[in-house]
Every structure is written in C-alpha cells, then in structure tokens.
Amino acid sequence: YAPGGAGTLPGFEQARLWWYQWFQTLDAGAGAVARDPIGFARLQWDTWSPAGWYEVAEFAATAEAFAEPDFVPTTLHYYRVRWGASPRDPGYDQLEEKLAQVTDLSVPTLLIHGGSDSCIAPEQTEGLAGLFGAGYRRVVVPGAGHFVPREAPGTVADLILDQLRSG
C-alpha cells in the first residue's frame, strides 16, 4: 500500500528486485519485451518464487494469454507510466487527485506475504500497521514466493476465512 497512491523510489535492494520495471521504461527494453513476452514472463515466474511452484504445462497454458495482442501494450504502459517514461492519461486526473487524498485505509486489512518472495522483499511490508485505521494483520508465509495464493492455497484460504470470521 502506498499512501496517496505515490510510488516512491525504493532502496537499493528493492530496486535490484524491480529491475524488470525499469527495463520496460527503456525503449530497447520495451522492444525486447514485445519481441519475447513469453520469455520475459517465464524469467519472472522462475525468479520471483522458489523453484518448483508451477508445472511446465501450467506455464504453457498461461502463456497463451501473454501472446494476446493487449498483453504487451498493457504491461508496458503500466510500468512506463509508473516510472515517468510515458505520460499519464489525463482522463484519469480526477481519480488521481482523489487517490492522492487517501492517507490510510479504513477497512480491516489482511496482508499475506511470501517469506521467499524475490520480487517484493518481505521487509517492504514491515511496519505498515499505522496506515490501516480499522485493523491490520500481516502474515508472512514461510517458503512461499510472490504467488502466495498459487503456492500455498490452503494457507491463504485459512487466513482469509479467519479474517472474515474476526471481522
């Protein structure tokens, strides 16, 4: 969660993990993603979580979506706008202004983070309780990486049910 929707420059270690975001802001990087979106996605799947979290056939089935015509432009647009390499759509200015006013979330919040996430380091979600006005619970799932619902579905389901029951 980023108060006011402001994406701030991360520290060096998190920046190293987010290499792919800045790679896409470069015209040459965007071109490389456009030429091989499946290879680009496969690299992320292979590095964001511990080995063995998915089957090769599962990736192949999912990769069909990466070949859809909207996949590359949508993906590139998100990261290029996020880091200032492309202009924001002025049609969203009103929503951006509204988002900028939000400093904390006023709903009970459960954050589930993979203890072996090598895309967003677990320490990035430490110490955020003050940003959540109606209760905040952070659970780090040992051994899970970036795709916690896929890697530990039973644990995630139990945590969500506990959250709903306590609400």
Over residues 42-90, the pLDDT tens digits come to 999 999 999 999 999 999 999 999 989 999 999 999 999 999 999 999 9
How far apart (Å, rounded) are the C-alpha atoms in residues 15 and 58? 29
> Is residue 109 a contact partner of residue 134, using CB atoms and an 8 Å limit?
yes
Amino acid 167: pLDDT: 67
- Strand partners of residue 114: 141
The pTM score is 0.88
In the structure encoding, which two tokens stand for residue 104, read together? 């904390």
User: Encoding tokens for residue 80?
Assistant: 């290029």
Higher pLDDT, 103 or 28: 28
Q: Is the pLDDT of residue 4 over 90?
A: no
Place of tokens 């792919």: 20
